[in-house]
Amino acid sequence: MIKVAESDAEIASCFEVMSLLRPHLKREDFVGLVRSMSPQGYRLAYLIADDEMQAVAGYRIIDMLRTGRMLEVDDLVSAESARSKGYGKQLLNWCYDLARSEGCSVVELDSAVHRADAHRFYFRERMHILGFHFSHAIEQG
């Protein structure tokens, strides 16, 4: 069963799995952070199977000059015990279906260069490398 987290309790229930991908996050800040991102369209979808949280996806639907409307997957992660059981595929297919129903032209995601297992999964799911994602850290001071 895939649902979109609406309540604080649902959002909080996603923390354990999300922290596998984003270990810098703190449990006590998680709900507030997700809520602060929601005005920019951020949502959490989660997959429950066998009464356990198996996979989580953070996504947003945005409009871009280069693509028009698109669904951007910010985060996609499965519980360690759930890997290679098809839950990530189910959640990604759910994102494809949502994108289609929302009139999106594409689903995109970034994946860190060191995540080779994730890259193999994305290639199997017919995704391809579109380009480089560059970053420059801004020092505060």
Q: Is the pLDDT of residue 95 over 80?
A: yes
Say if 140 falls within a structural domain.
Answer: no
Residue 55, domain CATH: 3.40.630.30
pLDDT in tens, 35-92: 999 999 999 999 999 999 999 999 999 999 999 999 999 999 999 887 888 999 999 9
Domain of residue 15 covers 2-124
Question: Does residue 84 contact residue 65 with C-beta atoms inside 8 Å?
Answer: no
Alpha-helix runs per DSSP H in the chain: 8-13, 15-21, 27-37, 87-101, 116-124
- How many distinct structural domains can be found in the chain? 1
SS3 117: helix
63 φ, ψ to 5°?
A: -105, 130
Say if 82 falls within a structural domain.
Answer: yes
Say if 136 falls within a structural domain.
Answer: no
Say if 60 falls within a structural domain.
Answer: yes
The single residue listed with the structure tokens 């189910």 is: 90
> Partners of 72 in the beta sheet?
60, 108
pLDDT in tens, 23-41: 999 999 999 999 999 999 9
Say if 132 falls within a structural domain.
Answer: no
Token digits for 25? 């996050």
Q: What is the pTM of this model?
A: 0.89
Strands 68-78, 106-109: pairing is parallel
Say if 133 falls within a structural domain.
Answer: no
